[in-house]
């Protein structure tokens, strides 16, 4: 008798760590805290106090041209800039939408890897959507980034530089509405931020460190979005930085979520939602549940009811809100956005269960800059 045919093993894209032995991105002052910058200069035989001047140029004045750093002695300037302010990335292309208030930039990193970031200006705030990895290993089938796999993790400084670049554009009045500041950062660009945990936490620290050690932003203005790497959510809970956590749920039941968010076969809906609830409980920050509305896939009234029940099973003390994202088209995807009528009914049912629900606007769709459309093709 021949051996029974075995079911093909479902291989999961569980690329938590990148391959070893790769060349690292240039070291930059944004990778280091204040003490680390000072130590580095001292080790190089340079005066430690210059670190603060460099930080003031980078984070405080948003200078990118060494010629403007006139408080550095001309004889040392090149050496100091090479040590702590090397070029990290080159803008290859900027595309605009919404009358110039949405700007997507394609960046080439030192090793040729490509990533994108998006700056969005609203009447009352300006948000930079940053990438945390070149590519992504999570393989969600409806997301453009997920289709190409993971190339590599980004460094802390490569993540921070996307925000600093946005801050420069705002400060220099390049975005309609006059000179302004970046108030919010969302880790909703390319990559799974919690799969690059250390660099992402480093970036959050640099963004929130008071100026000139960092950008001096409020942690409340920063959102970390995840597919739900449960151990990492728990680690973030312990970290003591009150960022907003967004959980990309997309389905309230394991059967469908296994398909839409493949990591769900590792961490179930129940485990994932519990970790998010615990984050809200400990940090007192309301968690955001992201739910991309896909026609005929996850947008049925019954799923709205189930989602409401799953979330309410952890109490109705306002720990959570749901953010529906109309599915943005991606090349080759068989899925489309929900019928507006079904979307309205979905909102109504969640609200009937007491769950605050919003529908995200789809800024930058026409420049492939909306959620899930970042593919970084040159
Ligand atoms: N890896 C993180 C951050 C990525 S993107 C995460 O998954 O949360 C930010 C959001 O865009 C996620 O909620 C993601 O699921 C969603 N998204 C991905 N593709 C999309 C698409 N085609 N249309 C709408 N939202 C999408």
Confidence of residue 21 (pLDDT cuts 50, 70, 90): low
Q: Which of 44-58, 174-188, 227-241, 328-342 has the least mean pLDDT?
A: 328-342
Q: Which pLDDT value is given to residue 193?
A: 98
The answer to the question of residue 5 being in a domain is: no
Answer yes or no: is 12 within a domain.
Answer: no
Residue nearest to atom 21 of ligand 1 (CA): 372
Residue 8 lies in a domain: no
C-alpha–C-alpha distance, residues 203 and 224, integer Å:
11
User: Is residue 263 within 8 Å of 275, Cβ to Cβ?
Assistant: no
Last residue of a domain, one of 68, 84, 100: 84
How high does pLDDT run on average in the chain?
Answer: 93
For ligand 1, atom 25, the nearest C-alpha belongs to: 371
Q: Indicate whether 345 pLDDT > 50.
A: yes
Helix (H, G, I), strand (E, B), or coil: what is residue 237? helix
pLDDT tens per residue, range 76-96: 999 999 999 999 999 999 999
For a mutational test of ligand 1's pocket, the pick from 325, 331, 362, i.e. the residue with the most ligand atoms closer than 8 A to its C-beta, is 325
> Does 340 score more than 80 pLDDT?
yes
> Domain range spanning residue 80?
29-84
Return all residues near 55 (Cβ < 8 A) that are at least 6 apart: 29, 34, 37, 212, 213
Asked whether residue 129 is assigned to any structural domain, the reply reads yes
Task: Give residue 13's pLDDT band: very low, low, confident or very high (50, 70, 90).
Answer: very low
Q: What is the pLDDT of residue 85?
A: 97
52 — phi, psi (to 5°)?
-65, -40
Considering only residues 334 and 3, tell me which one the structure prediction assigns the higher pLDDT. Answer: 334
- C-alpha angle 174/180/181, rounded to 5°? 110
CA distance 182 to 215: 10
Last residue of a domain, one of 50, 66, 84: 84
Question: Residue 287 is encoded by which pair of tokens?
Answer: 């968690």
Kindly tell me if the per-residue pLDDT of 206 is higher than 50. Answer: yes
Asked whether residue 8 carries a pLDDT value surpassing 70, the answer given is no
Establish whether 143 is a catalytic residue: no
- Check pLDDT > 70 for residue 17: no
Q: What domain count does the chain have?
A: 2
Q: Do 165 and 33 lie in a common domain?
A: no
Contact 116, 130 (CB under 8 A): no
Chain centre distance of CA 314: 26
On whether the CB atoms of residues 224 and 243 are closer than 8 A, the answer is yes
What's the CATH number where 69 sits?
1.10.150
Give the per-residue pLDDT at 365.
Answer: 85
Instruction: Please choose from 139, 249, 250, 290 the residue to mutate so as to test ligand 1's pocket, defined by most ligand atoms within 8 A of CB.
Output: 290
103 - beta bridge partners? 96, 119
| More confident of the two residues 21 and 106 | 106
Last residue of a domain, one of 47, 67, 84: 84
Of residues 334 and 161, more confidence is placed in: 161
Asked whether residue 24 is assigned to any structural domain, the reply reads no
pLDDT at position 3 over 60: no
* 64 and 174 fall within a common domain: no
Q: Determine how β-strand 150-153 pairs with β-strand 133-135.
A: antiparallel
Tally of helices (H runs) and strands (E runs) in the chain: 10, 12
The listed range with the strongest mean pLDDT (2-6, 11-15, 99-103, 326-330) is 99-103
CA–CA separation, 218 vs 259, rounded Å?
A: 36
pLDDT, tens digit (0-9, with 9 covering 90-100), for 129-151: 999 999 999 999 999 999 999 99
pLDDT of residue 6: 44
Say if CB 246 and CB 311 are below 8 A apart.
Answer: no
Judge contact between 208 and 217, C-beta under 8 A.
yes
Residue 50 in any domain: the answer is: yes
187 strand-pairing partners? 224
DSSP helix/strand/coil, 72: coil
Residue 328 Cβ < 6 Å to ligand 1: yes
How do residues 349-370 score in pLDDT, each as one tens digit? 999 999 999 998 888 888 888 8
CA of 374 to the centre of ligand 1 (A): 10
374 CB near ligand 1 (under 6 Å): no
Residue 19 has pLDDT above 90, yes or no: no
68 — pLDDT class (breaks 50, 70, 90): very high
Structure tokens at 212: 């000139």
For the entire predicted model, the pTM comes to: 0.93
- Measure the CA–CA gap between 185 and 378, rounded to whole angstroms: 24
pLDDT at 20: 57
Strands 222-226 and 114-121: unpaired
Q: Taking residues 289-305, report their average pLDDT.
A: 98
Please state whether the peptide bond connecting residue 212 to the residue before it is cis, i.e. omega within 30 degrees of 0. Answer: yes
């Amino acid at each position: 008798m021949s051996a029974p045919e075995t079911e093909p093993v479902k291989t999961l894209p569980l690329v938590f760590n990148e391959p070893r032995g790769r060349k690292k991105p240039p070291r930059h002052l944004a990778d280091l805290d204040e003490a680390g910058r000072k130590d580095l200069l001292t080790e190089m035989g340079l005066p430690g106090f210059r670190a603060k001047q460099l930080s003031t140029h980078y984070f405080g004045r948003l200078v990118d041209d060494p010629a403007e750093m006139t408080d550095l002695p001309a004889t040392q300037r090149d050496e100091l800039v090479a040590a702590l302010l090397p070029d990290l990335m080159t803008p290859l292309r900027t595309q605009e939408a919404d009358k110039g208030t949405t700007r997507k930039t394609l960046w080439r990193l030192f090793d040729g890897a490509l990533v994108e970031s998006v700056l969005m200006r609203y009447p009352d705030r300006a948000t930079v959507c940053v990438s945390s990895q070149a590519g992504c290993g999570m393989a969600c089938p409806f997301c453009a980034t997920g289709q190409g796999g993971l190339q590599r993790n980004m460094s802390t400084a490569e993540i921070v530089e996307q925000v600093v670049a946005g801050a420069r554009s705002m400060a220099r009045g390049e975005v309609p509405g006059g000179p302004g500041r970046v108030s919010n950062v969302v880790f909703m660009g390319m990559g799974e931020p919690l799969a690059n945990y250390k660099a992402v936490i480093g970036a959050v620290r640099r963004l929130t460190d008071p100026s000139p050690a960092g950008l001096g932003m409020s942690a409340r203005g920063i959102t970390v979005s995840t597919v739900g790497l449960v151990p990492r959510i728990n680690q973030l809970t312990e970290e003591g930085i009150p960022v907003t956590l967004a959980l990309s749920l997309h389905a309230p039941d394991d059967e469908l979520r296994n398909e839409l968010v493949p990591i769900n076969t590792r961490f179930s809906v129940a485990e994932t939602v519990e970790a998010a609830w615990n984050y809200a409980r400990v940090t007192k920050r309301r968690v955001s549940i992201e739910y991309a509305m896909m026609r005929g896939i996850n947008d049925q009234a019954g799923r709205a009811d189930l989602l409401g029940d799953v979330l309410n099973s952890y109490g109705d003390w306002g720990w959570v809100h749901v953010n529906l994202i109309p599915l943005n088209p991606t090349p080759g995807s068989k899925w489309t956005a929900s019928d507006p009528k079904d979307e309205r009914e979905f909102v109504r049912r969640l609200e009937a269960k007491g769950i605050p629900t919003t529908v995200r606007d789809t800024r930058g769709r026409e420049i492939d800059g909306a959620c899930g459309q970042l593919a970084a093709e040159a």
